[in-house]
Amino acid sequence: MPPTQFSSLATLCQHLEATTKKLEKSALLSDFLKNLQPNEISPAVLLLLGKIFSATDERTLKVSWRTLQKLEEQTPKGKTPSLSILDVHQHFSRIAGASGKGSRQRKEELLADLLGRVSANEKTYLVKMIFGEMQHGVAEGVMQQGIAEAIDADLALVRRAALLLGDIAEVARLGLIKGKNALAQVSLQLFRPIQPMLASLAEDFEDVFKEHGEQTALEYKYDGARVQIHCDRSTAQVKIFSRQLSEVTPSLPELVEWAQTKIAADSFIVEGEVVPVNAAGKPLPFQELMRRFRRVHQIAETQKEVPVKLYLFDLLYLDGKSYIDQPYQERWQKLAEICDQSLLADRLVASDKTSAETFLQRAMQSGHEGLMAKDLTSLYQPGARGKKWFKIKPADTLDLVVVAADWGYGRRTGWLSNYHLAVRDEESGEFMVVGKTFKGLTDAEFQWMTESLQRLKTSETNFTVQVRPQIVVEVAYNEIQRSAQYRSQLALRFARIKRIREDKAPEQCDSLARLQQLYEKQFEKKGRGTQKERVAFQ
């Protein structure tokens, strides 16, 4: 069987762009996937999703928009298609692997060679893949449906395998080579991180008790970074993963030590929050913690400058047994049995609003964000956001993605400082703008954002720079309004950035559906909405 040409993948992308119907898209994907050779499956799935490497692969291309634009102009056009999918994937691997002295020039040479060996149509999609902007309406959900159809499996089976493996390309490879029964056997594994379970926002404790019944487990909501710690004493191995599933072990050596000395188990996966603290143990601003995550050298020095505390709140795996299908209360009890008490999150099982409110005030007075409320019977659902877990915070905020920025003027001259903020449409995978703001950041943060956004630039017109959706910011606002200015139909009033969320991936930002729900709730509360306005999004 001859190798699959990259041109056929580019043609598939054209066909996907040509239809808005999800069923047609999944059928196109299914037909394509079934005809791939085993070693082509993973690269093809990643490329179709606008990803060069999987989420757990630390490699990146580190190619700027300006470099790509220059090389595009220099390379000849209209070549006869000749490269296979594997040729393209291997080329990307060589580009990512270039390092050391002269690596920038070597990367440009390799990229120029790749661009010079493809047709005009192939080049169009190569560029989109490099910047992660496919614009064909295939997000991971549609890809999961395509995989399910290709192997004649239930979509729920594919979804669960994707959540447990944390890699949709690996799910496709496993399912297409070994069949749906292989996916049914997928289980939680040490050193393969899974997507974290997520929480919905509750307006008050009345909402919480309505969903959870007579009791709910309350935990402090810490203003830190979520971590997943994997440990196997038989190999003396500890790995720490961020909520984006990136390994951050070298940045947090004290967590490695605590995992080895303060948890009594042979092997385990625990989840918690790491928080920067001062000498008195009081929590510091979140941005202080990012100094730890960014640093790859002089770790010991930064460790002294920014000490941290670890608060554990869940147990996912213990001594060969997965606990994600066990009730939350059982997971907590087992966690409390094996952990030093100094590592456990502050917690209260509440039966009434009065005790819950008192616990919230205690959390706020201690310098934390608010509370988490967890159903005692809830199973751990990787990547899911529902009503089994709630977060209760005094002021509502949204996690939004920066998709463009305007050059500033006056005091902000020279900085990309007016940010176009977007939510994610979960159905299409597109990011949809809901407002702009230049408020909330320090001068140092403006400088960091400018440098970071320039590396993510995809185009520039007049005073606006379009960027790859990569940077997540936490945004406070006064009100959500209807707006004909944006495709989302919504806009934030008086938006201001509270902090940059380097710990979050763009896919973890708030959804368009959630913004619509918040809009409708506030309208009803203020008594200003008509029924027509309330159902306008349905």
> Catalytic positions, please?
221
d(CA 99, CA 118) in angstroms, rounded, equals 25
Distances in Å between the Cα of 356 and the Cα atoms of 129, 205, 331, 339, 372 are: 48, 7, 22, 25, 11
| Bridging pattern class, strands 198-201 and 385-392 | parallel
- Residue 345 is given by DSSP the state P
Least Cα distance to 27 among 110, 146, 143, 112 occurs for: 146
CB count within 10 Å of CB 106 equals: 16
d(CA 271, CA 103) in angstroms, rounded, equals 38
Angle between helices 168-178 and 22-34 (to 10 degrees): 60
d(CA 378, CA 104) in angstroms, rounded, equals 50
Buried b (16+ CB within 10 A) or exposed e, 172-201: bbbbbeeebebbeebebebebbbbbbbbbb
CA 516-522-526 angle, to 5 degrees, is 145
Contact 244, 280 (CB under 8 A): no
State the Cα torsion 55-60-64-68 to the nearest 10°: -100
Q: Which two tokens stand for residue 433?
A: 């703008």
Contact 240, 248 (CB under 8 A): yes
Distances in Å between the Cα of 461 and the Cα atoms of 404, 416, 451 are: 11, 13, 18
d(CA 198, CA 243) in angstroms, rounded, equals 11
